[in-house]
Structure 1
Amino acid sequence: MKVSVIITTYNSEEWLSKVLEGYCNQTENDFEVVVADDGSTSKTKDVIDSFQSKFKFPIVHVWQEDNGFQKCKILNKAILKTNSDYLLFTDGDCIPRKDFVQQHLKFQEKGYFLSGGYFKLPMETSNTISFEDIKLQNCFSTSWLIKNGVKKSFKLTKLTHNKFFAIFMNWITPTKKTFNGHNTSCFKSDLIAVNGFNEEMQYGGLDREVGERLFNFGILAKQIRYQAICLHLDHKRGYATKETWEKNFAIRAYNKKHNITAIEKGISQYL
Protein backbone atom coordinates (compact mmCIF):
# COMPACT_ATOMS: atom_id res chain seq x y z
CA MET A 1 0.00 0.00 0.00
CA LYS A 2 1.10 3.57 -0.65
CA VAL A 3 0.38 5.19 2.72
CA SER A 4 -0.91 4.49 6.23
CA VAL A 5 -3.46 7.03 7.49
CA ILE A 6 -3.18 7.32 11.29
CA ILE A 7 -6.34 8.74 12.88
CA THR A 8 -6.34 9.63 16.59
CA THR A 9 -9.57 9.33 18.57
CA TYR A 10 -11.04 9.28 22.05
CA ASN A 11 -14.72 8.58 22.80
CA SER A 12 -16.03 10.52 19.82
CA GLU A 13 -17.97 7.94 17.85
CA GLU A 14 -20.21 10.26 15.83
CA TRP A 15 -17.30 12.40 14.62
CA LEU A 16 -15.13 9.34 13.90
CA SER A 17 -17.94 7.87 11.79
CA LYS A 18 -18.03 10.99 9.63
CA VAL A 19 -14.25 10.96 9.27
CA LEU A 20 -14.17 7.28 8.26
CA GLU A 21 -16.93 7.98 5.75
CA GLY A 22 -14.64 10.62 4.29
CA TYR A 23 -11.93 8.04 3.79
CA CYS A 24 -14.43 5.68 2.16
CA ASN A 25 -14.87 8.24 -0.60
CA GLN A 26 -11.27 8.97 -1.57
CA THR A 27 -10.05 9.17 -5.16
CA GLU A 28 -7.05 7.09 -4.02
CA ASN A 29 -7.85 3.76 -2.32
CA ASP A 30 -4.40 2.18 -1.98
CA PHE A 31 -4.02 3.06 1.69
CA GLU A 32 -4.71 1.60 5.12
CA VAL A 33 -6.46 3.24 8.06
CA VAL A 34 -4.87 2.91 11.50
CA VAL A 35 -7.01 4.20 14.38
CA ALA A 36 -4.87 5.35 17.33
CA ASP A 37 -7.37 5.04 20.18
CA ASP A 38 -6.40 6.66 23.50
CA GLY A 39 -8.69 4.56 25.71
CA SER A 40 -12.18 4.82 24.18
CA THR A 41 -15.04 2.56 25.22
CA SER A 42 -16.27 -0.38 23.11
CA LYS A 43 -18.56 2.02 21.21
CA THR A 44 -15.55 3.17 19.20
CA LYS A 45 -14.68 -0.42 18.32
CA ASP A 46 -18.27 -0.91 17.14
CA VAL A 47 -17.88 2.06 14.78
CA ILE A 48 -14.60 0.71 13.43
CA ASP A 49 -16.09 -2.75 12.92
CA SER A 50 -18.99 -1.25 10.96
CA PHE A 51 -16.51 0.25 8.49
CA GLN A 52 -14.15 -2.73 8.15
CA SER A 53 -15.59 -4.01 4.85
CA LYS A 54 -15.53 -0.59 3.17
CA PHE A 55 -11.75 -0.30 2.74
CA LYS A 56 -9.27 -2.12 0.52
CA PHE A 57 -7.23 -3.06 3.61
CA PRO A 58 -8.51 -3.96 7.11
CA ILE A 59 -8.67 -1.08 9.59
CA VAL A 60 -5.96 -1.48 12.24
CA HIS A 61 -7.32 -0.55 15.68
CA VAL A 62 -4.57 0.28 18.18
CA TRP A 63 -6.05 0.76 21.67
CA GLN A 64 -4.64 1.48 25.12
CA GLU A 65 -6.26 1.84 28.52
CA ASP A 66 -7.74 5.19 29.45
CA ASN A 67 -5.19 6.78 31.77
CA GLY A 68 -5.63 10.44 30.96
CA PHE A 69 -4.37 12.25 27.86
CA GLN A 70 -1.69 10.00 26.33
CA LYS A 71 -1.83 10.92 22.67
CA CYS A 72 1.94 10.67 22.14
CA LYS A 73 2.00 7.18 23.59
CA ILE A 74 -0.81 5.83 21.42
CA LEU A 75 0.69 7.49 18.33
CA ASN A 76 4.04 5.79 18.91
CA LYS A 77 2.28 2.44 19.28
CA ALA A 78 0.20 3.09 16.16
CA ILE A 79 3.24 3.98 14.06
CA LEU A 80 4.73 0.56 14.76
CA LYS A 81 1.50 -1.15 13.64
CA THR A 82 1.52 0.52 10.21
CA ASN A 83 2.30 -1.46 7.07
CA SER A 84 3.56 1.36 4.87
CA ASP A 85 6.77 3.38 4.69
CA TYR A 86 4.79 6.62 4.37
CA LEU A 87 2.50 7.96 7.11
CA LEU A 88 -0.35 10.49 7.04
CA PHE A 89 -1.41 11.88 10.43
CA THR A 90 -4.88 13.25 11.10
CA ASP A 91 -7.52 13.37 13.83
CA GLY A 92 -10.88 11.71 14.36
CA ASP A 93 -12.59 15.09 14.03
CA CYS A 94 -11.23 16.00 10.57
CA ILE A 95 -13.26 14.99 7.50
CA PRO A 96 -11.01 14.69 4.43
CA ARG A 97 -12.00 15.99 1.02
CA LYS A 98 -12.11 13.22 -1.59
CA ASP A 99 -8.62 14.08 -2.93
CA PHE A 100 -6.99 14.35 0.51
CA VAL A 101 -4.90 11.16 0.35
CA GLN A 102 -4.13 11.73 -3.33
CA GLN A 103 -2.74 15.20 -2.62
CA HIS A 104 -0.45 13.94 0.14
CA LEU A 105 0.90 11.24 -2.16
CA LYS A 106 1.31 13.72 -5.03
CA PHE A 107 3.57 16.02 -3.03
CA GLN A 108 5.54 13.48 -0.97
CA GLU A 109 9.30 13.80 -1.36
CA LYS A 110 12.29 12.34 0.42
CA GLY A 111 13.80 14.82 2.86
CA TYR A 112 10.47 16.57 3.51
CA PHE A 113 7.30 16.34 5.57
CA LEU A 114 4.07 17.89 4.29
CA SER A 115 2.30 20.56 6.34
CA GLY A 116 -1.46 20.84 5.85
CA GLY A 117 -4.18 22.76 7.66
CA TYR A 118 -7.92 22.58 8.23
CA PHE A 119 -11.10 24.58 7.86
CA LYS A 120 -12.75 24.88 11.26
CA LEU A 121 -16.52 24.43 11.44
CA PRO A 122 -18.97 25.70 14.06
CA MET A 123 -20.95 23.12 16.05
CA GLU A 124 -24.15 23.76 14.08
CA THR A 125 -22.48 22.83 10.80
CA SER A 126 -20.57 19.93 12.36
CA ASN A 127 -23.84 18.36 13.48
CA THR A 128 -25.59 19.02 10.16
CA ILE A 129 -23.10 17.14 7.96
CA SER A 130 -24.48 13.73 6.99
CA PHE A 131 -22.90 10.71 5.29
CA GLU A 132 -24.71 11.77 2.12
CA ASP A 133 -23.16 15.25 2.32
CA ILE A 134 -19.74 13.60 2.58
CA LYS A 135 -20.39 11.21 -0.33
CA LEU A 136 -21.64 14.04 -2.55
CA GLN A 137 -18.93 16.42 -1.19
CA ASN A 138 -21.61 19.01 -0.37
CA CYS A 139 -19.79 19.89 2.84
CA PHE A 140 -16.77 21.08 0.83
CA SER A 141 -18.90 23.55 -1.13
CA THR A 142 -18.60 27.12 0.15
CA SER A 143 -22.23 27.89 -0.76
CA TRP A 144 -23.45 24.80 1.14
CA LEU A 145 -21.37 25.72 4.18
CA ILE A 146 -22.68 29.29 4.23
CA LYS A 147 -26.26 27.97 4.03
CA ASN A 148 -25.51 25.70 6.98
CA GLY A 149 -24.04 28.00 9.58
CA VAL A 150 -20.57 29.04 8.35
CA LYS A 151 -19.92 32.79 8.20
CA LYS A 152 -18.56 34.30 5.01
CA SER A 153 -14.85 34.98 5.35
CA PHE A 154 -11.56 34.89 3.46
CA LYS A 155 -10.80 31.57 5.17
CA LEU A 156 -13.29 29.90 2.81
CA THR A 157 -10.61 30.23 0.10
CA LYS A 158 -8.95 27.21 1.73
CA LEU A 159 -11.61 25.12 0.00
CA THR A 160 -10.57 26.20 -3.49
CA HIS A 161 -10.50 23.64 -6.31
CA ASN A 162 -8.29 25.87 -8.47
CA LYS A 163 -4.83 24.30 -8.33
CA PHE A 164 -3.05 27.46 -9.51
CA PHE A 165 -4.76 29.55 -6.85
CA ALA A 166 -3.88 26.89 -4.26
CA ILE A 167 -0.20 26.98 -5.25
CA PHE A 168 -0.23 30.78 -5.07
CA MET A 169 -1.92 30.81 -1.65
CA ASN A 170 0.54 28.27 -0.26
CA TRP A 171 3.34 30.53 -1.48
CA ILE A 172 2.04 33.76 0.09
CA THR A 173 0.49 32.42 3.31
CA PRO A 174 2.21 33.71 6.47
CA THR A 175 1.39 30.42 8.22
CA LYS A 176 4.57 28.50 9.03
CA LYS A 177 5.22 25.02 7.68
CA THR A 178 4.71 23.04 10.89
CA PHE A 179 4.03 19.40 11.75
CA ASN A 180 0.27 19.39 12.38
CA GLY A 181 -1.34 16.33 13.94
CA HIS A 182 -4.55 16.91 12.00
CA ASN A 183 -2.92 17.10 8.55
CA THR A 184 0.70 16.09 8.06
CA SER A 185 2.49 13.30 6.24
CA CYS A 186 6.08 12.05 6.40
CA PHE A 187 8.31 9.04 5.95
CA LYS A 188 8.20 6.53 8.79
CA SER A 189 11.99 6.21 8.79
CA ASP A 190 12.37 9.93 9.53
CA LEU A 191 10.04 9.70 12.53
CA ILE A 192 11.83 6.67 13.91
CA ALA A 193 15.16 8.49 13.47
CA VAL A 194 13.99 11.22 15.89
CA ASN A 195 12.38 8.62 18.21
CA GLY A 196 8.78 9.47 17.35
CA PHE A 197 6.46 11.47 19.58
CA ASN A 198 7.66 12.80 22.93
CA GLU A 199 5.73 11.04 25.70
CA GLU A 200 6.84 13.69 28.20
CA MET A 201 4.29 15.95 26.52
CA GLN A 202 0.53 16.18 26.88
CA TYR A 203 -1.93 18.46 25.05
CA GLY A 204 -0.46 21.60 23.53
CA GLY A 205 2.03 21.66 20.65
CA LEU A 206 3.08 18.01 20.90
CA ASP A 207 2.86 17.59 17.12
CA ARG A 208 4.81 20.77 16.38
CA GLU A 209 7.57 19.55 18.69
CA VAL A 210 8.03 16.51 16.44
CA GLY A 211 8.37 18.79 13.44
CA GLU A 212 10.93 20.94 15.22
CA ARG A 213 13.07 17.87 15.92
CA LEU A 214 12.69 16.79 12.29
CA PHE A 215 14.00 20.22 11.28
CA ASN A 216 16.95 19.71 13.64
CA PHE A 217 17.51 16.33 11.95
CA GLY A 218 17.72 18.02 8.56
CA ILE A 219 14.22 17.33 7.24
CA LEU A 220 12.48 20.23 5.47
CA ALA A 221 8.75 20.94 5.07
CA LYS A 222 6.35 21.71 2.22
CA GLN A 223 3.22 23.82 2.62
CA ILE A 224 0.08 22.09 1.25
CA ARG A 225 -2.66 23.72 3.37
CA TYR A 226 -4.55 24.86 0.23
CA GLN A 227 -4.26 21.49 -1.52
CA ALA A 228 -4.89 18.83 1.15
CA ILE A 229 -8.23 19.93 2.57
CA CYS A 230 -10.05 18.68 5.65
CA LEU A 231 -12.97 20.01 7.71
CA HIS A 232 -12.46 20.26 11.46
CA LEU A 233 -15.58 19.32 13.41
CA ASP A 234 -16.20 21.34 16.55
CA HIS A 235 -15.67 19.92 20.06
CA LYS A 236 -14.67 20.88 23.59
CA ARG A 237 -11.07 20.64 24.85
CA GLY A 238 -11.37 19.77 28.51
CA TYR A 239 -7.87 18.29 28.56
CA ALA A 240 -6.14 21.63 27.84
CA THR A 241 -4.57 23.27 30.90
CA LYS A 242 -2.22 26.19 31.44
CA GLU A 243 0.26 23.91 33.21
CA THR A 244 0.59 21.45 30.32
CA TRP A 245 0.99 24.27 27.80
CA GLU A 246 3.78 25.83 29.91
CA LYS A 247 5.54 22.50 30.33
CA ASN A 248 5.33 21.78 26.61
CA PHE A 249 6.61 25.23 25.66
CA ALA A 250 9.60 24.68 27.96
CA ILE A 251 10.38 21.32 26.31
CA ARG A 252 10.16 22.84 22.85
CA ALA A 253 12.34 25.81 23.81
CA TYR A 254 15.00 23.48 25.25
CA ASN A 255 14.99 21.26 22.13
CA LYS A 256 15.33 24.26 19.82
CA LYS A 257 18.15 25.80 21.86
CA HIS A 258 20.13 22.55 22.07
CA ASN A 259 19.30 21.29 18.55
CA ILE A 260 17.74 18.09 19.94
CA THR A 261 16.74 15.44 17.42
CA ALA A 262 15.94 12.21 19.32
CA ILE A 263 14.22 12.46 22.72
CA GLU A 264 14.51 9.83 25.47
CA LYS A 265 10.89 8.83 26.08
CA GLY A 266 9.74 7.98 22.58
CA ILE A 267 9.00 5.18 20.16
CA SER A 268 12.16 3.21 21.00
CA GLN A 269 10.40 1.92 24.15
CA TYR A 270 8.30 -0.36 21.94
CA LEU A 271 10.94 -1.50 19.45
Structure 2
Amino acid sequence: MSVSLIVTTYNWPEALKCVLESVLRQSHLPDEVIIADDGSTEATAALIADFQARFPVPLIHSWQEDKGFRVAMSRNKAIAKARGDYIVLIDGDLVLQRHFIADHLKAAARGHFVSGKRARMTAALSDKVIKTGLVPSVFSKGLYRGRSTALRFAWLSRQVAMSKCSSADSIHACNLAFWRADALAINGFNIGFEGWGPEDKEFAARLLHLGLKRKVLKFAGVAFHLYHKENCKAALEKNNLLFEACLAERKVRCDQGLNECVNECPTPTSAADQRCQLSA
Protein backbone atom coordinates (compact mmCIF):
# COMPACT_ATOMS: atom_id res chain seq x y z
CA MET A 1 0.00 0.00 0.00
CA SER A 2 1.08 3.60 -0.50
CA VAL A 3 1.37 5.98 2.43
CA SER A 4 1.08 9.76 2.65
CA LEU A 5 2.68 11.56 5.58
CA ILE A 6 0.84 14.78 6.46
CA VAL A 7 2.66 17.31 8.63
CA THR A 8 0.76 20.27 10.10
CA THR A 9 2.66 23.51 10.64
CA TYR A 10 2.25 27.18 11.46
CA ASN A 11 5.09 29.73 11.56
CA TRP A 12 7.76 27.58 13.19
CA PRO A 13 10.21 26.75 10.38
CA GLU A 14 12.98 25.81 12.83
CA ALA A 15 10.85 22.98 14.18
CA LEU A 16 9.63 21.94 10.73
CA LYS A 17 13.26 21.68 9.59
CA CYS A 18 13.95 19.15 12.37
CA VAL A 19 10.83 17.19 11.46
CA LEU A 20 11.69 16.99 7.75
CA GLU A 21 15.26 15.97 8.51
CA SER A 22 13.91 13.14 10.67
CA VAL A 23 11.67 12.09 7.77
CA LEU A 24 14.71 11.88 5.50
CA ARG A 25 16.31 9.43 7.96
CA GLN A 26 13.37 7.01 7.93
CA SER A 27 14.13 3.34 7.35
CA HIS A 28 10.94 3.26 5.24
CA LEU A 29 10.16 6.52 3.47
CA PRO A 30 6.55 7.54 2.90
CA ASP A 31 5.45 7.75 -0.73
CA GLU A 32 4.80 11.47 -0.35
CA VAL A 33 4.93 14.16 2.31
CA ILE A 34 2.32 16.94 2.46
CA ILE A 35 2.83 20.01 4.61
CA ALA A 36 -0.55 21.19 5.91
CA ASP A 37 0.26 24.86 6.45
CA ASP A 38 -2.27 26.96 8.37
CA GLY A 39 -1.05 30.26 6.90
CA SER A 40 2.67 30.53 7.66
CA THR A 41 4.76 33.35 6.24
CA GLU A 42 7.40 33.20 3.50
CA ALA A 43 10.07 31.77 5.83
CA THR A 44 8.23 28.45 5.92
CA ALA A 45 7.65 28.45 2.16
CA ALA A 46 11.37 29.06 1.57
CA LEU A 47 12.31 26.20 3.90
CA ILE A 48 9.96 23.80 2.11
CA ALA A 49 11.27 24.89 -1.30
CA ASP A 50 14.81 24.12 -0.14
CA PHE A 51 13.80 20.63 0.99
CA GLN A 52 11.80 20.02 -2.20
CA ALA A 53 14.99 20.37 -4.24
CA ARG A 54 16.59 17.42 -2.44
CA PHE A 55 13.69 15.33 -1.17
CA PRO A 56 13.59 11.74 -2.51
CA VAL A 57 9.75 11.63 -2.57
CA PRO A 58 7.20 14.32 -3.51
CA LEU A 59 7.08 17.10 -0.92
CA ILE A 60 3.87 19.11 -1.33
CA HIS A 61 3.15 22.46 0.30
CA SER A 62 -0.58 22.80 1.04
CA TRP A 63 -1.09 26.39 2.22
CA GLN A 64 -4.16 28.34 3.29
CA GLU A 65 -4.61 31.97 4.26
CA ASP A 66 -4.02 32.82 7.91
CA LYS A 67 -7.47 33.46 9.35
CA GLY A 68 -6.79 32.20 12.83
CA PHE A 69 -6.38 28.64 14.15
CA ARG A 70 -8.00 26.50 11.42
CA VAL A 71 -6.07 23.24 11.67
CA ALA A 72 -9.14 21.15 10.79
CA MET A 73 -9.48 22.88 7.42
CA SER A 74 -5.73 22.71 6.87
CA ARG A 75 -5.68 18.95 7.46
CA ASN A 76 -8.66 18.46 5.16
CA LYS A 77 -6.93 20.30 2.33
CA ALA A 78 -3.90 18.06 2.76
CA ILE A 79 -6.03 14.89 2.87
CA ALA A 80 -7.76 16.05 -0.31
CA LYS A 81 -4.39 16.32 -2.04
CA ALA A 82 -3.11 12.97 -0.72
CA ARG A 83 -2.73 10.05 -3.12
CA GLY A 84 -1.70 7.44 -0.56
CA ASP A 85 -4.00 4.59 0.46
CA TYR A 86 -2.95 5.18 4.06
CA ILE A 87 -2.36 8.47 5.85
CA VAL A 88 -0.04 9.09 8.78
CA LEU A 89 -0.74 12.45 10.40
CA ILE A 90 1.74 14.30 12.60
CA ASP A 91 2.32 17.83 13.85
CA GLY A 92 5.20 19.99 12.73
CA ASP A 93 6.82 19.81 16.16
CA LEU A 94 7.26 16.03 16.22
CA VAL A 95 10.77 14.68 15.58
CA LEU A 96 10.53 11.08 14.38
CA GLN A 97 12.56 8.05 15.43
CA ARG A 98 13.93 6.40 12.28
CA HIS A 99 11.44 3.49 12.24
CA PHE A 100 8.36 5.69 12.77
CA ILE A 101 6.80 5.14 9.33
CA ALA A 102 7.79 1.46 9.23
CA ASP A 103 6.13 0.89 12.62
CA HIS A 104 2.92 2.56 11.50
CA LEU A 105 2.78 0.43 8.37
CA LYS A 106 3.21 -2.73 10.44
CA ALA A 107 0.30 -1.66 12.66
CA ALA A 108 -2.01 -0.79 9.76
CA ALA A 109 -5.03 -3.07 9.31
CA ARG A 110 -8.31 -2.72 7.44
CA GLY A 111 -11.18 -1.76 9.69
CA HIS A 112 -8.83 0.01 12.13
CA PHE A 113 -7.20 3.34 12.74
CA VAL A 114 -4.09 3.80 14.87
CA SER A 115 -3.37 6.36 17.59
CA GLY A 116 0.22 6.84 18.71
CA LYS A 117 2.04 8.61 21.51
CA ARG A 118 4.79 11.21 21.77
CA ALA A 119 7.63 11.68 24.21
CA ARG A 120 7.69 15.21 25.55
CA MET A 121 10.94 17.18 25.69
CA THR A 122 11.91 19.94 28.06
CA ALA A 123 12.71 23.38 26.70
CA ALA A 124 16.44 22.73 27.14
CA LEU A 125 16.41 19.46 25.20
CA SER A 126 14.19 20.99 22.53
CA ASP A 127 16.64 23.85 22.02
CA LYS A 128 19.46 21.34 21.67
CA VAL A 129 17.52 19.30 19.11
CA ILE A 130 16.70 22.39 17.05
CA LYS A 131 20.31 23.58 17.10
CA THR A 132 21.97 20.23 16.38
CA GLY A 133 19.34 18.26 14.48
CA LEU A 134 19.84 15.19 16.67
CA VAL A 135 17.00 12.76 17.31
CA PRO A 136 16.68 11.97 21.04
CA SER A 137 16.42 8.46 22.47
CA VAL A 138 14.86 6.85 25.52
CA PHE A 139 18.12 7.61 27.36
CA SER A 140 18.17 11.34 26.59
CA LYS A 141 18.15 13.76 29.50
CA GLY A 142 15.25 16.15 29.24
CA LEU A 143 12.32 13.79 28.61
CA TYR A 144 9.35 14.04 30.92
CA ARG A 145 5.74 12.83 31.40
CA GLY A 146 6.46 9.18 30.76
CA ARG A 147 9.85 8.12 29.48
CA SER A 148 8.34 4.80 28.35
CA THR A 149 6.77 6.59 25.37
CA ALA A 150 10.30 6.90 23.97
CA LEU A 151 10.96 3.16 24.21
CA ARG A 152 10.77 1.10 21.00
CA PHE A 153 10.24 -2.60 21.67
CA ALA A 154 8.66 -4.40 18.69
CA TRP A 155 7.51 -7.57 20.49
CA LEU A 156 5.88 -5.67 23.36
CA SER A 157 4.25 -3.28 20.90
CA ARG A 158 2.56 -6.19 19.12
CA GLN A 159 1.13 -7.48 22.39
CA VAL A 160 -0.28 -4.09 23.41
CA ALA A 161 -1.70 -3.34 19.94
CA MET A 162 -3.73 -6.55 20.14
CA SER A 163 -5.99 -4.93 22.73
CA LYS A 164 -8.49 -2.62 21.01
CA CYS A 165 -9.73 0.64 22.48
CA SER A 166 -13.36 1.66 21.85
CA SER A 167 -13.16 5.31 22.91
CA ALA A 168 -11.61 8.52 21.60
CA ASP A 169 -9.94 9.27 24.93
CA SER A 170 -6.30 10.38 24.76
CA ILE A 171 -6.43 10.77 20.98
CA HIS A 172 -3.91 13.23 19.60
CA ALA A 173 -3.75 14.03 15.89
CA CYS A 174 -0.05 14.76 16.32
CA ASN A 175 0.43 10.98 15.89
CA LEU A 176 -2.53 9.38 14.14
CA ALA A 177 -2.92 7.03 11.16
CA PHE A 178 -5.95 5.96 9.14
CA TRP A 179 -7.06 4.74 5.72
CA ARG A 180 -7.78 7.56 3.33
CA ALA A 181 -11.05 5.92 2.24
CA ASP A 182 -12.25 5.96 5.88
CA ALA A 183 -11.45 9.67 6.20
CA LEU A 184 -13.45 10.32 3.04
CA ALA A 185 -16.36 8.25 4.37
CA ILE A 186 -16.74 10.48 7.45
CA ASN A 187 -16.06 13.71 5.50
CA GLY A 188 -12.73 14.36 7.19
CA PHE A 189 -12.19 16.80 10.02
CA ASN A 190 -15.07 19.02 11.11
CA ILE A 191 -14.20 22.58 10.06
CA GLY A 192 -16.66 23.90 12.60
CA PHE A 193 -13.73 23.56 15.00
CA GLU A 194 -11.80 26.83 14.95
CA GLY A 195 -9.35 27.46 17.74
CA TRP A 196 -7.64 24.80 19.83
CA GLY A 197 -9.23 21.36 20.51
CA PRO A 198 -10.71 18.77 20.45
CA GLU A 199 -11.15 18.35 16.68
CA ASP A 200 -8.93 15.27 16.73
CA LYS A 201 -11.07 13.42 19.28
CA GLU A 202 -14.22 14.28 17.34
CA PHE A 203 -12.63 12.94 14.12
CA ALA A 204 -11.70 9.71 15.93
CA ALA A 205 -15.16 9.40 17.49
CA ARG A 206 -16.76 9.49 14.04
CA LEU A 207 -14.38 6.78 12.83
CA LEU A 208 -15.56 4.67 15.76
CA HIS A 209 -19.19 5.44 14.94
CA LEU A 210 -18.46 4.29 11.38
CA GLY A 211 -17.62 0.89 12.85
CA LEU A 212 -13.84 1.06 12.90
CA LYS A 213 -11.73 -0.20 15.78
CA ARG A 214 -8.86 1.69 17.32
CA LYS A 215 -5.36 0.37 17.81
CA VAL A 216 -3.16 2.09 20.39
CA LEU A 217 0.44 2.15 19.19
CA LYS A 218 2.83 1.85 22.13
CA PHE A 219 6.52 0.98 22.16
CA ALA A 220 6.59 1.70 18.42
CA GLY A 221 6.03 4.72 16.19
CA VAL A 222 8.20 6.71 18.59
CA ALA A 223 8.22 10.49 18.20
CA PHE A 224 9.63 13.34 20.28
CA HIS A 225 7.60 16.48 20.92
CA LEU A 226 9.45 19.80 20.82
CA TYR A 227 8.61 22.03 23.75
CA HIS A 228 6.47 25.12 23.18
CA LYS A 229 4.01 27.20 25.14
CA GLU A 230 0.46 25.89 25.20
CA ASN A 231 -1.95 27.14 22.56
CA CYS A 232 -4.67 29.60 23.46
CA LYS A 233 -7.73 27.70 24.69
CA ALA A 234 -10.28 30.50 24.39
CA ALA A 235 -12.40 28.43 21.96
CA LEU A 236 -12.30 25.23 24.00
CA GLU A 237 -15.77 25.60 25.57
CA LYS A 238 -17.42 26.14 22.18
CA ASN A 239 -15.46 23.31 20.61
CA ASN A 240 -16.29 20.93 23.44
CA LEU A 241 -19.99 21.43 22.67
CA LEU A 242 -19.37 20.23 19.10
CA PHE A 243 -17.57 17.17 20.43
CA GLU A 244 -20.33 16.39 22.92
CA ALA A 245 -22.97 16.71 20.19
CA CYS A 246 -21.03 14.27 18.04
CA LEU A 247 -20.98 11.72 20.85
CA ALA A 248 -24.64 12.23 21.79
CA GLU A 249 -25.86 11.90 18.20
CA ARG A 250 -23.30 9.23 17.23
CA LYS A 251 -22.47 11.22 14.15
CA VAL A 252 -20.50 9.60 11.36
CA ARG A 253 -20.27 12.39 8.80
CA CYS A 254 -19.77 16.04 9.65
CA ASP A 255 -21.75 18.58 7.61
CA GLN A 256 -18.72 20.67 6.71
CA GLY A 257 -15.44 18.88 6.19
CA LEU A 258 -13.67 17.41 3.20
CA ASN A 259 -16.61 18.38 1.01
CA GLU A 260 -15.29 21.94 1.30
CA CYS A 261 -12.13 20.73 -0.48
CA VAL A 262 -13.80 18.63 -3.16
CA ASN A 263 -12.08 20.46 -6.02
CA GLU A 264 -8.70 19.51 -4.59
CA CYS A 265 -9.36 15.74 -4.52
CA PRO A 266 -7.26 13.71 -6.97
CA THR A 267 -9.17 11.91 -9.71
CA PRO A 268 -10.51 8.64 -8.25
CA THR A 269 -8.58 5.61 -9.49
CA SER A 270 -10.52 2.79 -7.86
CA ALA A 271 -14.02 1.92 -6.74
CA ALA A 272 -13.08 2.60 -3.12
CA ASP A 273 -11.82 6.03 -4.03
CA GLN A 274 -15.14 6.96 -5.59
CA ARG A 275 -15.96 8.23 -2.09
CA CYS A 276 -13.70 11.14 -3.01
CA GLN A 277 -16.78 12.46 -4.82
CA LEU A 278 -18.00 13.26 -1.29
CA SER A 279 -21.69 13.38 -2.09
CA ALA A 280 -23.85 14.47 0.83
Query: Could you tell me the TM-score, scaled by structure 2's length?
Result: 0.86
Aligned position for 1:81: 81
Deviation at 1:245, TM superposition (A): 1.2
- In 1, Cα distance between equivalents of 2:148 and 2:166: 14
Q: Secondary structure at the match of 1:140?
A: coil
CA contact under 8 A between 2:10 and 2:37: conserved in structure 1?
yes
Deviation at 1:174, TM superposition (A): 9.7
Match of 1:265 among 241, 245, 256: 256
CA contact under 8 A between 1:30 and 1:56: conserved in structure 2?
no
CA contact under 8 A between 1:18 and 1:131: conserved in structure 2?
no
Deviation at 1:85, TM superposition (A): 1.5
- In 2, Cα distance between equivalents of 1:212 and 1:224: 17
Aligned position for 1:70: 70
Aligned position for 2:43: 43
Structure 1 residues 58 and 195: CA distance shift in structure 2, 3 A: same
Q: Decide which structure has greater helix share.
A: 1
Aligned sequence identity (%):
30
CA contact under 8 A between 2:35 and 2:60: conserved in structure 1?
yes
Deviation at 1:66, TM superposition (A): 0.7
CA contact under 8 A between 2:112 and 2:212: conserved in structure 1?
yes
Deviations 1:89-139 (A, max 9, x none): 0000000100000011111111100110100111111010157653xx4x1
- In 2, Cα distance between equivalents of 1:206 and 1:80: 17
Aligned position for 2:127: 127
Structure 1 residues 176 and 21: CA distance shift in structure 2, 3 A: farther
Aligned position for 2:199: 206
Q: Does 1:254 align with 2:245?
A: yes
- In 1, Cα distance between equivalents of 2:164 and 2:260: 38
- In 2, Cα distance between equivalents of 1:205 and 1:225: 22
Q: Secondary structure at the match of 1:88?
A: strand
- In 2, Cα distance between equivalents of 1:19 and 1:75: 17
CA contact under 8 A between 1:29 and 1:55: conserved in structure 2?
no
CA contact under 8 A between 1:116 and 1:226: conserved in structure 2?
no
Q: Secondary structure at the match of 2:67?
A: coil
Range 232-241 or range 258-267, more displaced:
232-241
CA contact under 8 A between 2:8 and 2:37: conserved in structure 1?
yes
Match of 2:137 among 136, 140, 155: 140
Q: Does 1:185 align with 2:210?
A: no
Aligned position for 2:21: 21
Deviation at 1:140, TM superposition (A): 1.6
Aligned residues: 260
Range 254-263 or range 171-180, more displaced:
171-180
CA contact under 8 A between 1:112 and 1:186: conserved in structure 2?
yes
Aligned position for 2:216: 223
Match of 2:147 among 146, 156, 160: 156
Q: How large is the Cα RMSD of the aligned pairs?
A: 2.2
CA contact under 8 A between 2:164 and 2:214: conserved in structure 1?
no
- In 1, Cα distance between equivalents of 2:205 and 2:129: 35
Partner AA of 1:186 in structure 2: F
CA contact under 8 A between 1:160 and 1:166: conserved in structure 2?
no
- In 2, Cα distance between equivalents of 1:249 and 1:31: 35
Structure 1 residues 70 and 177: CA distance shift in structure 2, 3 A: closer
Range 26-35 or range 177-186, more displaced:
177-186
- In 2, Cα distance between equivalents of 1:49 and 1:168: 41
Partner AA of 1:26 in structure 2: Q
Structure 1 residues 254 and 30: CA distance shift in structure 2, 3 A: closer
Partner AA of 1:183 in structure 2: N
Deviations 1:4-54 (A, max 9, x none): 000000000100000111101000024211000000001001111121134
Query: Could you tell me the TM-score, scaled by structure 1's length?
Result: 0.89
CA contact under 8 A between 1:166 and 1:226: conserved in structure 2?
yes
- In 2, Cα distance between equivalents of 1:256 and 1:26: 37
CA contact under 8 A between 1:177 and 1:223: conserved in structure 2?
no
Partner AA of 1:201 in structure 2: F
- In 2, Cα distance between equivalents of 1:107 and 1:170: 8
